[in-house]
Amino acid sequence: MILTGATVVTSLDPVRLARRDLHLEDGRVVAEAGGPSRDCSGCLVVPGNVCAHTHLYSALARGMPYRLPPPESFLQILQRVWWRLDRALDEESVRASALVGGMEALLSGTTTLVDHHASPNAIDGSLDVIADALGSLGARSVLCYETSDRDGPERAQAGVAENARFASRVARERPPLTRGLIGAHASFTLSDETLAACVEAARTHGVGIHVHAAEDLADEADSEALHGARVAARLAAGGALDERTLLAHGVHLDDGEVALVRGRGATIAHNARSNMNNGIGRARVDVLGPHVALGTDGIGSDMFEESRTAFFRLHEDGVGAGAGWALARLAEGARLAGRAFDEPALGTLVPGAPADLAVLDYAAPAPLDTGSFAGHWIFGLSSRSVRDVMVAGEWVVLDRRLARVDQQELVERARPQAERLWARLDEIDPHPFEPKGGRRWPSPLQTA
């Protein structure tokens, strides 16, 4: 395959552009190839985006009725919304959520999803369901199950077992489009025994741990009360913090924790829109170091929108970063995914790199070159520009429609699953789990 006539963004960090045809063969970028061509005249070809932290199980929640008193803290958001929703999930709604989330990711130019899944009443095999659903669309994924003690020790053990089973399957079969991590919810819902089991599973299977860390003050207060240490120190002492670890949020990490996380080489997934929506505070991304990627925490998978919001929030905080900051964060997400797939060139379009890319129909109204590209990304480009998307050398979106499945049929099949999910949700009470370290601490949601 040859993509002709486009401006090719071969790298986001640093930005490199080439005005030449892009040659593809056997799922990779090559220096020269024959075969059919696709006219991309006047278009930009960019590396596919990576969403470094999401929750696909939330894909059917938009517009979901809510009849309980409004939450007054982040813990109550979990108890009254998300920990009710995940208990309502069954295999079919898990599949439908993954299909809808994967569809919207690909249509917005996101080719890899790092998902953190939870379905306490449908744990066994749930990661296979998600992998199969995303694979049918052609999306790349890095999956884990959200191990937690909040639903009792049996489900905690089942969560560890599901992570280990999936990691073992991936290591044995090496499927082309999916990899695994060991998932854990957050320190305040993890006993020492369960955290140790997650660490052991990660060590056994040679993968990292994907865990929420200091998303809310509740996490820090519980860790200090029960373990005499803040969250990052507890994770480090338990063997859960190293260069393979993915920490979601990191909003309330203090200076000592920041130094610890940076020293261990862990990656932090920054989720600006989710942090704003939940009112949990502002992550200090200006001091967290180079290993900061961008995620959505389940608010879709549009990384154009996420990167723009994160950049604007950074400026609102008085940090004068250039527009290239957002591109560097997207590139860091690609490096994270590249490590999972043993593909160090993932997120670039240089010879040897996987052919994960998006063709953007973008008529630049101002000069577009290496120096101006980041400004075009923040102030001009968006997911509405996405025309075609390719993953591992195969078209998955062509002319703004899914290429491998019937897009309208997918949506029509998802709608009754959403109706079933909402009906079950009405029968589920707020989750009774309370952090054992107490919950009488200031909350940004309560003091805003």
Each domain of the chain, given as residue ranges in start order, spans 2-47+353-402, 49-340
Over the stretch 11-37, which tens digit does the pLDDT of each residue have? 999 999 999 999 999 999 999 988 899
Which 3 state secondary structure label does DSSP give 387?
Answer: strand
Closest CA to 295 of 51, 21, 11: 51
Helix crossing, 407-425 with 91-107: angle to 10°? 130
C-alpha 347/C-alpha 140 separation (Å) is 12
Per-residue pLDDT at 447 exceeds 90: no
Q: What is the CATH number of domain 2-47+353-402?
A: 2.30.40.10
Strand ranges for 119-227 from DSSP E: 140-145, 178-180, 182-186, 209-213
Residue 430 C-alpha from the chain's centroid: 26
Mean pLDDT check: name the lowest of 42-46, 63-67, 153-157, 307-311. Answer: 63-67
Over the stretch 156-205, which tens digit does the pLDDT of each residue have? 999 999 999 999 999 999 999 999 999 999 999 999 999 999 999 999 99
**What number is the average pLDDT over the span 277-286?**
94
Cβ pair 394, 138 in contact under 8 A: yes
Percent of the chain with pLDDT over 90: 93
pLDDT at position 319: 79
Q: What is the DSSP letter of 48?
A: P
**What number is the average pLDDT over the span 236-247?**
98
C-alpha 252/C-alpha 447 separation (Å) is 15
Q: Under 8 Å CB-to-CB from 440, ≥6 apart: which residues?
A: none
CATH topology (fold) of 49-340: TIM Barrel (3.20.20)
Q: Under 8 Å CB-to-CB from 268, ≥6 apart: which residues?
A: 213, 246, 247, 248, 249, 250, 261, 283, 285, 288, 291, 292, 293
In order of 77, 80, 98, 231, 436, the CA distances from 69 in angstroms are: 11, 9, 29, 30, 24
Predicted confidence band at 438 (pLDDT cuts at 50, 70, 90)? Answer: low
pLDDT at position 14: 97
At 225, list the tokens.
């009360």
pLDDT at position 320: 77
Full strand arrangement of the beta sheet holding 178-180: 49-54, 110-117, 140-145, 178-180
> What mean pLDDT is reported for the chain?
95
In order of 126, 156, 402, the CA distances from 131 in angstroms are: 9, 21, 18
Torsion angle, CA of 77/80/85/88, rounded to 10 degrees? Answer: 160
Please name the amino acid found at residue 144: C
pLDDT at position 33: 84
pLDDT at position 428: 95
Percent of the chain with pLDDT over 70: 98
